[in-house]
Amino acid sequence: MEAMKVTDDDSSLSTYQCPDCLSQYREKYGEEHRAIAPLTLFEDLPPNWSCSLCETPFSKFIKIS
């Protein structure tokens, strides 16, 4: 299987924003500090995933791009 090539203008990856503290989850980068690999889609995050700053649940994040 060939690895997905990521560029700065890759429109296939999205960004989601916490409505409470405005932090963002970018699929392009993941969250390596939380063992979430780059290119991990938002819908593939663990069901107990929450905002790393304010602990807002996964279900409240808003897709912004």
Is the pLDDT score of 1 beyond 50? no
7 pLDDT band, cuts 50/70/90, is low
Domain containing residue 51: CATH number? 2.20.28.10
Is the pLDDT score of 11 beyond 50? yes
Residue 60 counted as domain residue: yes
Q: Where are the alpha helices (DSSP H) in the chain?
A: none
Is the pLDDT score of 61 beyond 90? yes
Angstrom distances, CA of residue 12 to CA of 7, 8, 32: 10, 11, 20
Residue 48 counted as domain residue: yes
Total structural domains within the chain: 1
Is the pLDDT score of 2 beyond 90? no
Residues 6+ apart with CB under 8 A from 52: 23, 31, 33, 34
